[in-house]
Amino acid sequence: MELVTTPRVSFLRELADEILRQYGLGRMIVAIDGPVRSGKTVFGDDLAAVLRERGHRVFRASMEDFHRSREAQDVYGPDTAERYFRYAFDESALRRVLVEPFRMGGSTAFVTAVFDPARDAWIEPKWVTGPADAILVIDGRFVLRPRLAQLWDVRIALEGEPVDAADRLAYDERDPRAEASVVVDDRDPSNPRFVRAERADQARS
């Protein structure tokens, strides 16, 4: 379905076309990071819609759906910003049930959500499959942290400075904008713009 053309949609079409020029066929993962409340999830949803408009099968996931339970986090000590930064997310589950099976392609099933942090409860897993050519768009805090950044084919960071203690710890360790191949200023959602973008010819050089 063709989307209504707006400045935001035009921008996302340009971004999508650049992504597709670089990566073409097969399984691809696009990750979006940025400060808390920077609009990562909405940006991911909108980019996924444009990629679907281009005729691609697209799946969505969020780090919010890969939290550890409060009980599991308590093992790592008091509820502090540092504990949240280091231990709030179940990165093992992320790799085991989403990233690794998605990368395998074919008929291998994967799961896009395992936990509901609002209810502090596990989600009954829904195993899904996709075609050999498919795109996963994942957003979330700390998704471009060094130990995860190399999992992704396309790394997008939203412009903005850290706004809470957990963000400051993350940015002190490694600013996600330094890990990103694309940095986007989305602080005016109606008119996003590129701050930095690695073009297809640069990626191949």
Classify residue 201: in a domain, yes or no.
Answer: no
Classify residue 135: in a domain, yes or no.
Answer: yes
Residue 154 has pLDDT above 60, yes or no: yes
Classify residue 126: in a domain, yes or no.
Answer: yes
* C-alpha distances in Å from residue 126, one per residue of 46, 120, 147: 23, 18, 26
Amino acid at 111: V
Domain count, the chain: 1
Domain span holding position 127 = 7-196
- Both tokens of residue 70? 């409060």
Residues present in the chain in total: 205
- CATH number of the structural domain spanning residue 56: 3.40.50.300
Residue 130 has pLDDT above 80, yes or no: yes
Classify residue 157: in a domain, yes or no.
Answer: yes
Where residue 100 falls (left for φ over 0; alpha for ψ -120 to 50; beta otherwise) is alpha
Classify residue 202: in a domain, yes or no.
Answer: no
Q: What is the pLDDT of residues 16-35, one digit of tens each?
A: 999 999 887 899 999 999 99
Q: What is the pLDDT of residues 171-204, one digit of tens each?
A: 999 999 999 999 999 999 999 999 987 653 343 3
Confidence at residue 201, expressed as pLDDT on a 0 to 100 scale = 38
Amino acid at 124: E
Classify residue 131: in a domain, yes or no.
Answer: yes
* C-alpha distances in Å from residue 106, one per residue of 55, 103, 109, 134, 152: 19, 9, 9, 10, 19
**Quick check: 65 and 116 in contact, CB under 8 A?**
yes
Q: What is the pTM of this model?
A: 0.93
Classify residue 203: in a domain, yes or no.
Answer: no
Q: What is the pLDDT of residues 35-68, one digit of tens each?
A: 999 999 999 999 999 999 999 999 999 999 999 9
